[in-house]
Amino acid sequence: MSRAEVAALIRAGDRFAVTCHRRPDADAIGSAVALAVILRELGKDVAIYSVDPPPRMTGFVPGVAEVPRAIPSGAFDACFVCDAAAEALVPPRPPGLRGPVVMIDHHAAHDGFGDVVLREPDACASGLVVVRLMRELGIDRIPEAAAWPLYAAIVSDTGGFRYSSTDAETHRVAAELLELGVEPWVAASHLFERWEPQRMRLLADLLAGLTLDLDDRVAVLRVTQDALARVGADAEMVEGMVNYGRMLEGVEVAVLLWEQPDGGTKISLRASGSADVAAVARALHGGGHRAAAGARTAVGLDATYAEVRPLVARAIEGE
C-alpha cells in the first residue's frame, strides 16, 4: 500500500494501537514511540505496547521506559506494527482490533504478512519510514517528543551513519532532529558504548573462538549457553557481536551462530562485500537486508552451519 493510502486510513480512524517486533531493538521501539507521538499530534487516541522489554541501551530515550508490556484492551481502528520483517516476531494483536494490522517496515526481505504493508526498503530505518508518513499526513515539523526516539532508531540502524543505507535524506532528517535538541554524543554513548563487564568478557570469548572458512572470506562466531553462563552475560549482550567478524580484512560475510535454550540456533549474518545475506536468510525462513539478515533453525550449531555454509558460498559468488 502507498504512503498516501496509509495516511488516508489514519485520517479516517480515531483510535489506534501501536507496537513493534518482539525483542525490540532501537529502531523498532523508537519507531513505535515516534509514531504514537505523531498520531497523537493529529488528535488520535493511541495505545502503545511492546510485549518484550526494550533493550537497556535505549533507556535514555524519553518515552521508551513507559511503554506498557500489556496488550491494550478496547476497540481499535488499526494496529500498527513497526519494523517487523518476520511473522514470528509480530506480537499478538489487541483483542478489540476491528481494523487492519498495518506493517511499517524497511527490510528488503519480508514475509508478506499484514493486512496493510507500508514497506520502503530504500529507507535506512523504519524510523525514517515514520518520518515520511508524517510528512504525508501534513505534519511538516517533527514533534519534539518524537526527536530522541527517531534519532535512536536512525543512528542505530545505520551503525552510527556508517552503513551503505545512509544517504543524504538520512543526514537531513538527523540534522532536523539535532535542531530539536538531540545530542549525538549522548545517543552514541548509550547505543554503542557503556558496555557491562560481562559483555566485554563475552566478546573476548567469542573472538577467541572465531574461525575463518571459505578461503578466509567467511568469519564464524559461536555463542553457547555454557559460554553465556560462564561469563555472566545475558541474551541482550549477544546483539551486534556478529559485526566483529565483519571487521576482519578480506572477510565478506560474518556468521554468528547462537545456541538457544531450546537447542535451536539463531543465525545473524552480515556482509561487507556484495554478497546478499538476505537471500541466505530467506532460504532458512528468515529475513532482513542485503547486508544484514538473520534466521533461526531448530537444530544445533554444527548442523546449522552445515546448512548455512553452502548458502553463504553461493551468495559470495553472486549466485
Q: Are 107 and 125 in contact (CB under 8 A)?
A: no
Q: Is the pLDDT of residue 129 over 70?
A: yes
For residue 98, the domain's CATH number is 3.90.1640.10
Nearest to 264 by CA among 286, 279, 242, 245: 286
pLDDT given at position 181: 97
Count the domains in the chain: 2
> 202 and 178 in one domain?
no
> 188 and 85 in one domain?
yes
pLDDT given at position 111: 73
170, 192, 214 — which closes off a domain?
192
For residue 267, the domain's CATH number is 3.10.310.30
Domain that holds residue 113: 3-192
> What's the pLDDT band for 319 if we cut at 50, 70, 90?
low
The secondary structure of residue 74, as a DSSP letter, is S
> 242 and 188 in one domain?
no
> What's the pLDDT band for 71 if we cut at 50, 70, 90?
very high
User: ∠180-138-145 over CA atoms, to 5°?
Assistant: 30
Q: Is the pLDDT of residue 50 over 90?
A: yes
> 162 and 28 in one domain?
yes
> What's the pLDDT band for 87 if we cut at 50, 70, 90?
confident
> 24 and 145 in one domain?
yes
As a whole number, mean pLDDT of residues 275-293 equals: 89
| Cα–Cα distance, 9 to 11 (Å, whole number) | 6
- Work out the mean pLDDT of the chain and round it to a whole number: 94
> What's the pLDDT band for 250 if we cut at 50, 70, 90?
very high
> 203 and 188 in one domain?
no
> 168 and 186 in one domain?
yes
Q: Is the pLDDT of residue 112 over 90?
A: no
135, 161, 192 — which closes off a domain?
192
Q: What is the pTM of this model?
A: 0.88
Residue written as grid cell 514511540: 33
> 239 and 155 in one domain?
no
